[in-house]
């Protein structure tokens, strides 16, 4: 548009110049212009002049506007040129930066290539080390198994040797008794029974003590007549004593459960220093339902777990791994408690079928079922001998059992149902739902001591030196009881610890340096007995409430079980 105006302005300027310089023609035309008819030359020129002057004024206005526009465009052009120059400068800078980055990229590519080569070499070395580790681990596991087999073989050989020696000693004793009997029967005695009844006793003949002791086991003495009055000490009462001694000797030879020759297995500490667990060594899904109980054998090589699926599973613990050994069947209810006998040859379990059951290691079926409770059996423990046991039940009774006869020999009636029991020497300790711990003397009918706590008692555990008792209760605390003074010595509690069920089990470490329990959030809480402070919290593996924990007697590892079927080995 502005260009059209400029061209029109230039045409009109040239026309004005030509009209002023060119003379008027005689006709009605001028050069480049056509005049209107009826006008003279002067008038026509005047009219054209006025017309052109108007156009010139208009063109001057347009020219001024265009000049202003040209100035603005010039300024804009200069600004654009400055910006363009800046862009060129920046472009040059960026080009240099790109060159630097390309060089750096090439350098990094070289480094990445070198690192890739190094990683390949390290991976090959790692794979080789891993294979060696797996081989060594397998060798270690086999060595541990072989060691366990050798130990078991040595124990069997020692038992066989002991039995052989006992038989040999018994034969020697029998031979000695026979010789002494023959020697004694050669002495002639004469007794007038009628006179013995009315006359005072004659003086006894001095007989060697050894002869008298060994005559007590003699049965044939009654079948031989007395021919001399020099041995009148053999009165009727004395003969009865001899006969009783003979019967006692026969009972001992038959290994009767109720005889006085019963061997007492006492739990001797075998752990000098306990190793604190810090990491997970193995995890197994042990049962088809929640796991309620766990226990190590006295040798620490076998682990037993019991669950709500009515099964007991045995595990071999070697090389930081749990390997399934055997499954014990026969229980018709949820397993609530497991206990090895002191020799490690038998397992006693409490179940929800109102009974306790006994297995022999190696047998899949139950050896004995202890029936007599009217409700769920919550605890079953061996006494100091393998032939006696104690059970606690929700029928508000505690029963003592003779395992040789499979019969209950004593029933203790309590006001509240029992959650757990422990035994030490002649004392039975029971924990109850009414927030009380009761002490019973197995030689007397009555309760000797009652210790109240602030929550329902879920478990009891006695230290190996039988000096302290650890209780866990639903008030989310552990209490250490001094068994000499029968009072609470320590109370353990911690933020976050919560007792997850009525059968949550807490234990001492084998050296009694720590107290361990599982929480409802899946963590394990460990307290230091000396300082009374929380030592550590083990978490991250369990996703459900921990029901029970077990610490091996060697002090090297811990096992925990939870309500999500999981068994975790900690080392």
* pLDDT reading at 250 higher than 80: no
Which residues, in sequence order, are CB contacts of 451 under 8 Å at separation 6+?
436, 437, 439, 481, 486, 487, 488
Biggest CA–CA distance in the chain, Å, is 210
pLDDT (tens digit, 9 = 90+) per residue, 29-58? Answer: 444 445 556 667 788 888 888 888 888 888
- Which of the listed residues 201, 235, 253 is the one where a domain comes to its end? 253
pLDDT (tens digit, 9 = 90+) per residue, 515-548? Answer: 999 999 999 999 999 999 999 999 988 999 999 9
Domain of residue 303, CATH code: 2.130.10.10
Indicate if 513 and 559 belong to the same structural domain. Answer: yes
Name the more confident of 27 and 144.
144
Indicate if 232 and 325 belong to the same structural domain. Answer: no
Structural domains counted in the chain? 3
Indicate if 374 and 513 belong to the same structural domain. Answer: yes
Beta-sheet pairing, 377-382 with 487-492: unpaired
Q: Flag whether 270 is in a domain.
A: no
Indicate if 239 and 299 belong to the same structural domain. Answer: no
* pLDDT reading at 458 higher than 90: yes
What does the pLDDT average to over 49-77?
88
Indicate if 380 and 518 belong to the same structural domain. Answer: yes
Backbone angles phi, psi at 79, to 5 degrees: -65, -40
- Domain enclosing residue 208, as ranges: 168-253
Q: Flag whether 151 is in a domain.
A: no
What does the pLDDT average to over 370-393?
90
Indicate if 346 and 494 belong to the same structural domain. Answer: yes
Q: Flag whether 143 is in a domain.
A: no
Reported confidence tier of residue 348, pLDDT bands at 50, 70, 90: very high
pLDDT (tens digit, 9 = 90+) per residue, 177-225? Answer: 888 887 777 666 554 444 333 334 333 333 343 333 333 333 333 333 3
Strands (E), 463-523: 468-473, 477-482, 487-492, 506-508, 514-518
Reported confidence tier of residue 446, pLDDT bands at 50, 70, 90: confident
Q: Flag whether 74 is in a domain.
A: no
Indicate if 347 and 210 belong to the same structural domain. Answer: no
Q: Flag whether 365 is in a domain.
A: yes
Indicate if 425 and 331 belong to the same structural domain. Answer: yes
Indicate if 418 and 549 belong to the same structural domain. Answer: yes
Reported confidence tier of residue 365, pLDDT bands at 50, 70, 90: confident
- Tell me what pLDDT residue 29 has: 43
* pLDDT reading at 144 higher than 70: yes
Q: Flag whether 439 is in a domain.
A: yes
* pLDDT reading at 20 higher than 60: no
Indicate if 290 and 246 belong to the same structural domain. Answer: no
Name the more confident of 219 and 176.
176
Backbone angles phi, psi at 47, to 5 degrees: -60, -45
Indicate if 436 and 559 belong to the same structural domain. Answer: yes
Q: Flag whether 232 is in a domain.
A: yes
* pLDDT reading at 411 higher than 80: yes
Reported confidence tier of residue 13, pLDDT bands at 50, 70, 90: low
Indicate if 315 and 223 belong to the same structural domain. Answer: no
Q: Flag whether 138 is in a domain.
A: no
> Terminus-to-terminus CA distance in the chain, angstroms?
94
């Amino acid at each position: 548009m502005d260009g059209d105006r400029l061209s029109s302005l230039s045409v009109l300027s040239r026309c004005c110049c030509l009209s002023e310089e060119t003379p008027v023609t005689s006709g009605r035309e001028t050069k480049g212009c056509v005049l209107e008819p009826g006008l003279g030359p002067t008038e026509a020129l005047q009219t054209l002049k006025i017309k052109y002057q108007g156009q010139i004024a208009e063109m001057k206005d347009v020219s001024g506007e265009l000049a202003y526009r040209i100035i603005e465009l010039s300024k804009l052009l200069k600004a654009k040129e400055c910006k363009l120059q800046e862009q060129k400068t920046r472009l040059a800078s960026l080009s240099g930066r790109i060159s630097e980055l390309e060089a750096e990229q090439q350098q990094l590519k070289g480094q990445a290539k070198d690192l890739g080569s190094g990683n390949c070499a390290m991976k090959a070395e790692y794979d080789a080390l891993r294979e060696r580790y797996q081989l060594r681990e397998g060798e270690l596991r086999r060595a541990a198994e072989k060691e366990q087999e050798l130990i078991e073989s040595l124990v069997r050989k020692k038992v066989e040797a002991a039995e052989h020696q006992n038989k040999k000693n018994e034969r020697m004793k029998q031979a000695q008794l026979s010789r002494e009997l023959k020697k004694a029967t050669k002495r002639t005695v004469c007794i007038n029974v009628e006179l013995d009844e009315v006359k005072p006793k004659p003086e006894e003949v001095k007989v060697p003590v050894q002869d008298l002791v060994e005559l007590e086991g003699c049965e044939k003495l009654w079948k031989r007549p007395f021919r001399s009055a020099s041995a009148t000490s053999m009165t009727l009462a004395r003969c009865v004593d001899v006969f009783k001694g003979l019967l006692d000797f026969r009972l001992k030879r038959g290994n009767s459960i109720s005889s006085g020759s019963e061997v007492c297995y006492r739990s001797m500490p075998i752990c000098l220093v306990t190793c604190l667990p810090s990491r997970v060594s193995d995890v197994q899904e042990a049962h088809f339902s929640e796991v309620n109980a766990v226990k190590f054998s006295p040798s620490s090589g076998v682990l037993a777990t019991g669950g709500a699926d009515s099964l007991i599973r045995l595990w071999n613990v070697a090389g930081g791994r749990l390997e399934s050994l055997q499954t014990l069947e026969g229980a018709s209810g949820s397993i609530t408690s497991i206990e090895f006998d002191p020799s490690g040859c038998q397992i006693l379990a409490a179940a929800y079928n109102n009974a306790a059951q006994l297995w022999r290691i190696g047998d899949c079926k139950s050896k004995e079922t202890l029936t007599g409770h009217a409700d769920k059996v919550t605890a079953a423990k061996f006494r100091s001998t393998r032939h006696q046991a104690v059970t606690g039940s929700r029928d508000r009774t505690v029963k003592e059992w003779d395992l040789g006869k499979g019969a209950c020999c004593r029933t203790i009636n309590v006001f509240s149902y029992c959650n757990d029991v422990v035994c030490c020497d002649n004392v039975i300790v029971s924990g109850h739902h009414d927030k009380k711990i009761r002490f019973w003397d197995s030689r007397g009918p009555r309760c000797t001591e009652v210790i109240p706590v602030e929550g329902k008692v879920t478990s009891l555990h006695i230290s190996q030196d039988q000096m302290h008792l650890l209780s866990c209760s639903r008030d989310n605390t552990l209490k250490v009881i001094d068994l000499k003074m029968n009072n609470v010595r320590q109370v353990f509690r911690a933020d976050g610890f919560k007792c997850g069920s009525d059968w949550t089990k807490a234990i001492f470490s084998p050296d009694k340096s720590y107290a361990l329990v599982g929480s409802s959030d899946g963590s394990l809480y460990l307290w230091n007995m000396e300082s009374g402070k929380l030592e550590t919290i083990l978490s991250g593996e369990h996703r459900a409430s921990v029901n029970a924990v077990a610490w091996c007697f060697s002090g090297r590892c811990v096992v925990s079980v939870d309500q999500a079927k999981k068994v975790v080995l900690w080392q």
